[in-house]
Amino acid sequence: MLKEILIGGFGGQGIMLMGQLLAYGAIHEGLAATFFPSYGPEMRGGTANCTIVISDQRIGSPIRNRFSVLVAMNQASLDKFKDRVKKKGILVYNETLILDPPDVKDVEIIKVPANKIANELQNPQVANMVAVGALIRILGFISFDSLSRGLVKVLPEYRHQLIPLNEKAIKMGMGSVLGASFMGHET
């Protein structure tokens, strides 16, 4: 098994946190994982993306040009990276912020109302956790418990009081894609 995941958005959306959390979740499942961040010149509002490679074997390099999964948190990231998803890959996008849905062929497209759900939780900053929850539900090999254990690692100790909110956002993200068909089977 090999999954090459690209997560894209803008600075301040928690893109790097999403990538680190996925990597830790995979490690807690006994898988190999790499995390490779990429920032634009600005911090907040600039471009941010990261690559996470997850495998049941050793990973030779974290650098990839094409991806089995793209998570686009904003329109600019979708426009920039949508053509880098491999045939029969998965494109997950934040339908709350992306007004021009992707138009790609031979790719499974899944929309997640990440910001809408985060606003329902009265904390727009957890949109990234909603998207991660949807992603682990789609992928099917990282459990909620493994991801939750990863939260302790990626969140600084002074933010640990936010773990229950983040866990709730992850669960709501998982629920947002219930019943969807992934890679040819119903969930």
Q: What pLDDT sits at residue 79? A: 95
The one-letter amino acid code at 123 reads N
Coarse DSSP helix, strand, coil percentages of the chain, rounded to the nearest 5 percent: 40, 30, 30
Q: What CATH number labels 2-186?
A: 3.40.920.10
**Kindly report the CA angle at 50 between 139 and 180, in degrees rounded to 5?**
25
Q: How far apart are CA 133 and CA 61, in angstroms?
A: 26
Q: What pLDDT sits at residue 187? A: 36
Q: What pLDDT sits at residue 185? A: 40
Q: What pLDDT sits at residue 39? A: 77
Q: How far apart are CA 119 and CA 108, in angstroms?
A: 26
pTM of the complete model: 0.92
Q: What pLDDT sits at residue 160? A: 96
CB contact set of 164 (below 8 Å; sequence gap of 6+): none
Residue ranges of the domains in the chain?
A: 2-186
Low-confidence ranges of the chain (pLDDT < 70): 40-45, 179-187
Structure-token match 């600005």, residue found: 42
DSSP state string for 48-114: EEEEEEEESS--S-S--SSEEEEEE-SHHHHHHHGGGEEEEEEEEEETTT--S----SSEEEEEE-H
Q: What pLDDT sits at residue 42? A: 57
Q: What pLDDT sits at residue 186? A: 40
